[in-house]
Structure 1
């Protein structure tokens, strides 16, 4: 089922999708002309990147998705009761970076048992991912109203219409960890600007743990994470007519203890020159030079609370797994 069939607002939001190529060119010019070279993480999530990431979430080494799902399975009723306790009105669930909404259905199912009217607004830069999210929820919960929104919520905060009820925003999967502390605050502050006082935010965050476990999660034996990272170069070849030889780059995962983050890099295995026609850009890479493609920050509880407070939210409650590997934190817009 195509995403356009779900919402009349799709056309109005399509400008974000149409502007994706211009944003891609801008980020390539900004990130590859400087040293050290870097690219922003949203560039990883084209249709193929989203598909590969879904494979990553099912890998035995990649614990965050599995652990967060376990928390939802055990505590969804408690979570939504805490969200809805203050107001009997309808609820709309807004999800930043929805992906395929594999875990979101657990929360929507629990919400549907408490409220007659539930609206789901998945936000994602990938129309293909939104198609999958809406198909999944439509099959599981046909009575939930779907209002998908194609947008890059990092560069263009989602604009919400008025709603006579509670807005329940979720940002799960530890996606907030892909951004620097400054960027994370900006994302949450932008979200807060669209919420009313008392609206809720559920934030999923990966917690600090031993280095070996972290590195395995981002450099799996099957090489799926490597393919996901290298797909960024394939994307530039496809969309910007670049001539990256992907066999001359390799995936690297590093733990940066000082910054409390896993870093993903693409390392050039030899001296080489690359031309990106769509960005009118020629770049020389030296052997061992890297492109920093993604971070995954790991949190302490204190850091989570500080981030929320700095972004206009107040802590309400937290749920973790038994190993204290992952946290799901509920906060309110102040």
Structure 2
């Protein structure tokens, strides 16, 4: 893991413009900060999808087209704290559906906390945590030949550009059988006054979350980033529906990373691109799945129509 981290940091900082992968936001500190972000008044995304899982749970279950007596595997990519999924698990349990829940996450810490929590609040639900890369875990689960429902929530697909998103969904299909379902949660295109504050909260939690990536490089790779000389900067273009996060150097400076054995110069105002947060509409979703093995079945929106859970079927 540390070698991959080192390699990807090196590649990113040698890019023009500089980049760092958003997946490295998530260590113990990053996990805790993201939970704080999800509870911020400005961060509508979690509340919007939670609205669906709380108030349209039966619509979701109906869209899966499953019978209570027929066993299936419920697989969640990037499960995190399972806040929304617990609403679905509770309903499935109450209706005596036969299933195992497989939460997949890169963070062992997040999985451990989730399993502990579910053992208390939903003791009847079978939880089989899977740490690692989505596709490696899915490839291992593919052998079971059991019907599968994949959950990919939180508009995490929006962290990819459209080409990568299409490839990602194609790869998911390659690990599934005809009839298997994918619940794809996406943030819908909205105005700047709603979107931008979600990535730039008044308390500065999102800024800490973004800058924690530099702290990780300092702690794990021997970097000497001075966090006081960098700032968090989000941007959003309403026309194309793409939000981006940057870490910006506030001064001209050079940073050394010991384990890489390299120094990186920054001009004042120079940006490191850390994350993309794509917003969607029906046409974009249809475009992204056009060359995959999925067809669009159902679209379920929250009460404000900020967010949508699309149900796709592998054909």
Give the TM-score category using the shorter length: over 0.9
Unaligned runs of 5+ in 2: none
Q: Given that residues 68 and 98 in structure 2 are in contact (C-alpha distance below 8 angstroms), is that contact kept between their aligned partners in structure 1? A: no
What do residues 143-176 of structure 1 show as CA deviations (whole Å, max 9, x unaligned)? Answer: 211111111337x563214336421100000111
TM-score (normalizing by structure 1): 0.90
Contact 1:157–1:191 (CA under 8 A) maintained in structure 2: no
**Contact preservation (8 Å) 1:89, 1:165:** no
CA drift of 1:257 comes to 4.1
Deviation by residue 1:51-70 (Cα, 9 ceiling, x = unmatched): 10110000000000001001
For 2:77 and 2:51, locate their aligned partners in 1 and report how far apart those are by CA, in whole Å. Answer: 20
Q: Which of residues 41, 44, 57 is equivalent to 1:60?
A: 41
Q: Which stretch shifts more, 112-121 or 183-192?
A: 112-121
Task: Kindly state the Cα deviation for residue 308 of structure 1 after the two structures are TM-superposed.
Answer: 2.8
How far apart in 2 are the matches of 1:163 and 1:157?
Answer: 12
Give the match for residue 72 of structure 1. Answer: 53
Query: What pairs with 1:212-223 in structure 2 (closer than 5 Å)?
Result: 212-223=193-204
Match for 2:278 among 280, 297, 302? Answer: 297
Match of 2:220 in 1: 239
**Cα offset for 1:117?**
2.6
Cα distance per residue 1:205-232 (max 9 Å; x no partner): 0001111111111000000000000000
Pairing 1:183-194 to 2, within 5 Å after superposition: 183-194=164-175
SS in 1 for 2:280: coil
Structure 2: how far apart are the matches of 1:179 and 1:49?
20
Give secondary structure in 2 for the equivalent of 1:278. coil
**2:301 is aligned with 1:323:** no
Per the normalisation by structure 2, the TM-score is 0.95
User: Aligned with 1:279: secondary structure?
Assistant: coil
Q: How many equivalent residue pairs?
A: 314
CA RMSD of aligned residues (A): 1.7
Equivalent positions of 1:27-66 (< 5 A) are: 27-66=8-47
CA–CA separation in structure 2 for the residues paired with 1:258 and 1:166: 39
Matched, 1:275 2:256: yes
Mapping 1:194-233, distance limit 5 Å = 194-233=175-214
Q: Does 1:152 align with 2:133?
A: yes
User: Are the aligned partners of 1:308 and 1:331 in contact in 2 as well (CA < 8 Å)?
Assistant: no
Q: Which 5+ residue runs of structure 1 have no aligned equivalent?
A: 1-19
